[in-house]
Amino acid sequence: MKKPQGFTVHDIARLAGVSAMTVSRTLNHPEKVSPAVLARVREVVARTGFVPNGMARGLRSSKARLVAAVLPTLVGPVFQETVRALNEALDEQGYQLMIGQSGYDASREDALLDAIIRRRPDGIVLTGIMHSPEGRRQLLASGIPVVETWDLTPTPIDMLVGFSHERIGQSVCHFLYSRGYRHPALISADDDRARRRIEGFQGMSRTLGLDAAPTHLVPAPTTLGSGRAGLAAVLAAHPHTDAVFCSSDMLALGVLIEAQARGLAVPRQLGVVGLGDLDLAASLQPALTTVRIDGTRIGRTAAQYIVERAEGRSVSEPIVDIGFEIIERASA
Amino acid sequence: MKKPQGFTVHDIARLAGVSAMTVSRTLNHPEKVSPAVLARVREVVARTGFVPNGMARGLRSSKARLVAAVLPTLVGPVFQETVRALNEALDEQGYQLMIGQSGYDASREDALLDAIIRRRPDGIVLTGIMHSPEGRRQLLASGIPVVETWDLTPTPIDMLVGFSHERIGQSVCHFLYSRGYRHPALISADDDRARRRIEGFQGMSRTLGLDAAPTHLVPAPTTLGSGRAGLAAVLAAHPHTDAVFCSSDMLALGVLIEAQARGLAVPRQLGVVGLGDLDLAASLQPALTTVRIDGTRIGRTAAQYIVERAEGRSVSEPIVDIGFEIIERASA
DNA sequence: CTGAAAGCGCTAACAA
DNA sequence: TTGTTAGCGCTTTCAG
């Protein structure tokens, strides 16, 4: 298998009648090259379609201009905003984003981490915090800047941009109570962060003198269908449920549809709160009350932290809680 | 800035009392190393947390074990299945997937292509076909295997796994006609592929002796909100519209919600057809009739083609039309 | 402003 | 089975 078009800096140098070093400078520090030479080299580059080999550059300069992000699920609305913002911010600074999917499975996660570390990215963005001790060790040992996101922990690996899931649970419970609901239930994904929201919710529910909220767990990723089925299940077991906190807007949409199919009036007979504030939330009928997390800010901040580090500067406030907000619309 | 933990094969070799080559072999061809040495080297690797430098490996062996995918929008439900399948299939073969977002903008696309080609991936998967002549040239010149997807063209750059958008338009128009609808309208994203579906639809509509279908264009990405607004606009201009073909399921969901808000019975007074067969389609009330594209097959096939090429084999049938299917449910 | 030498970390090819 | 040599393509460093 022959490489069809294997141009190197040397080829370009020869064709332009200069040294390889000058080609390299033309590409990376054009201000240090005389205009005449610059034009000549550029002409050859354009004519040949030469694209320098980034692996060689990275190897020599130990700057890959690459940032890796680890997502539990590759695509799906939840981290959409974060990833978009991350990608945009990095792109502006000349960095490429590489995305890896961890699944919700821990053993695959270590393999993924290995694949990532091999490429020596300038930074790694994790959605969620890293629990596997082996993963932590690898990350720490690699010396690569790491930003954990979408969660809080007293023991971050390195940097952190997140918020408290427990506090979300508390706030939503309190919000529902303040709206007059006394028999709330939970329909929730079965993952670690969702579980902490549930704990927060139940804690507050105890504080307010309510019964423990019935909880219906659904497998991740959450879908509209599991929202419908979830409401059906909850209502079957606890007929006087008067409100539901869903762990995603999709789930909430399912609940809304199922409620409608059953002739249950929202928000009068059933309050519904989602999580995520997807763009569909505002367009629903009734518009969905939901918890908004500023994913854009998470992504942008993570990008900024990593670029700072990659350029050798230090980050002054490497651990931030960006909080969240309950967007009150019409469904609760 | 010192590299905190810069182990190399040489360090590991010294610690294990062997040569660097033996460390390399332990990592890549363990069967060619004696059990005793293997164990010793592995112990050192585990103890130090050594992860080999993939850039160096890639440079030397010109195999990056990397595949790049270009998506118009980074995340979003449309290519979800394709990307997931692509990632899974590549992962099984030991390849990493890198994702780049082109936006719907052509100038950024060339820059992205450049960033991708620099890394010398073993393959590039494009969603949609490459129109920019400059992009084609770059791709061709790079000699990297390319798979274009989600579309058909008589002049692919290299390999192709797609289907005909025009034919989708024709089929949906015919389907609606056969269901008795005589005044269909289109609510569609304003992009190239969507436009070809519209042309197909209008062509068939002429053939069937229908008036040209009113068309309402919405900006990409499509949202539930623009579906609602779209139906309102269509109805305002063309009150006796009796069916709508939406260019995504999200749009269709918006149409369903708007129809409900207006007391329009679906499918009796208004037929609704979506595109994508998202998992929510089946769970809606009424369940959504939609066009299903086998994204999993696209992703898997693309992965297979690229791996074949990367391993030096040739692909026997490098251009496939995987077709599509209208899933008849309750909304039309 | 330009060039020559050296080497980043790894592995293909050959030798022992 | 193991080791030695060389060099992938680039850029850092140092001279001119």
List the domain boundaries for chain B: 4-52, 61-163+295-322, 165-292
Please report which confidence band the pLDDT of residue B130 belongs to, taking 50, 70 and 90 as the band edges.
confident
* Per-residue DSSP letter, B62: S
Q: What number is the average pLDDT over the span B71-98?
A: 86
Q: Provide the pLDDT for residue A74.
A: 64
Q: Provide the pLDDT for residue A220.
A: 85
Residue of least CA–C1' distance to D2: B22
Mutate to test the interface with B, among A74, A253, A262, A266 (most CBs of B within 10 A): A74
pLDDT tops 70 at residue A267: yes
Q: Provide the pLDDT for residue B113.
A: 92
B261 has a chain A CB within 8 A of its CB = yes
Q: What number is the average pLDDT over the span A244-259?
A: 97
Q: Provide the pLDDT for residue B2.
A: 37
Domains A4-52 and A61-163+295-322 share a fold: no
Q: Provide the pLDDT for residue A67.
A: 95
Please report which confidence band the pLDDT of residue A5 belongs to, taking 50, 70 and 90 as the band edges.
low
Q: How far is B17 from chain A (nearest CA, A)?
A: 22
Q: What number is the average pLDDT over the span A28-41?
A: 95
Cβ contact B137–A76 (<8 Å): no
> What are the φ/ψ torsions at residue A234 (nearest 5 degrees)?
-60, -45
Q: Give pLDDT tens digits for B99-119.
A: 888 876 677 788 889 999 999
Q: Give pLDDT tens digits for B303-331.
A: 999 999 998 889 999 999 999 999 999 99
A250 has a chain B CB within 8 A of its CB = yes
Half-sphere exposure of A225 (CA within 13 A, CB side): 11
Q: Give pLDDT tens digits for A198-248.
A: 999 999 999 999 999 999 999 988 999 999 999 999 999 999 999 999 999
C-alpha closest to that of B224 among B280, B182, B264, B262? B280
Q: Provide the pLDDT for residue B128.
A: 87
Q: Provide the pLDDT for residue B109.
A: 81
pLDDT tops 50 at residue B232: yes
Within 7 Å: CB of B268 and strand C? no
Please report which confidence band the pLDDT of residue B5 belongs to, taking 50, 70 and 90 as the band edges.
low
C-alpha closest to that of A165 among A207, A200, A216? A200
Average pLDDT value over all residues in chain A = 93
Q: Provide the pLDDT for residue A108.
A: 76
Q: Provide the pLDDT for residue A312.
A: 86
| A4-52 CATH choice from 3.30.70.120, 3.20.20.80, 1.10.8.50, 1.10.260.40 | 1.10.260.40
CA angle B43, B45, B50 (to 5 degrees): 160
Q: Provide the pLDDT for residue B74.
A: 66
Q: Give pLDDT tens digits for A117-144.
A: 999 999 999 998 888 888 898 899 899 9
Half-sphere exposure of B308 (CA within 13 A, CB side): 15
Within 7 Å: CB of A30 and strand D? no
A103 has a chain B CB within 8 A of its CB = no
- For the domain made up of B61-163+295-322, the CATH class stated in words is alpha beta
Going by CATH, does the domain composed of A165-292 fall within 3.40.50.300? no
**Positions of strand C less than 7 angstroms from a protein CB:** 1-5, 7-13
Q: How far is A50 from chain B (nearest CA, A)?
A: 8
Q: Which nucleotide is nearest to A19 (CA to C1')?
A: C3
pLDDT tops 70 at residue B3: no
Average pLDDT value over all residues in chain B = 93
SS (H, E, C) chain A: CCCCCCCCHHHHHHHHCCCHHHHHHHHHCHHHCCHHHHHHHHHHHHHHCCCCCHHHHHHHHCCCCEEEEEECCCCCHHHHHHHHHHHHHHHHCCCEEEEEECCCCHHHHHHHHHHHHHCCCCEEEEEECCCCHHHHHHHHHHCCCEEEECCCCCCCCCEEEECCHHHHHHHHHHHHHHCCCCCEEEEEECCHHHHHHHHHHHHHHHHCCCCCCCEEEECCCCCHHHHHHHHHHHHHHCCCCCEEEECCHHHHHHHHHHHHHCCCCCCCCCEEEEECCCCCHHHCCCCCEEEECCHHHHHHHHHHHHHHHHCCCCCCCCEEECCCEEECCCCC
DSSP SS3 for B313: coil
Within 7 Å: CB of A94 and strand D? no
Within 7 Å: CB of A9 and strand D? yes
Q: Provide the pLDDT for residue B105.
A: 66
Q: Provide the pLDDT for residue B262.
A: 97
Q: Give pLDDT tens digits for A10-32.
A: 999 999 999 999 999 999 999 99
Q: Give pLDDT tens digits for A63-86.
A: 899 999 998 876 678 888 999 899
Please report which confidence band the pLDDT of residue A318 belongs to, taking 50, 70 and 90 as the band edges.
very high
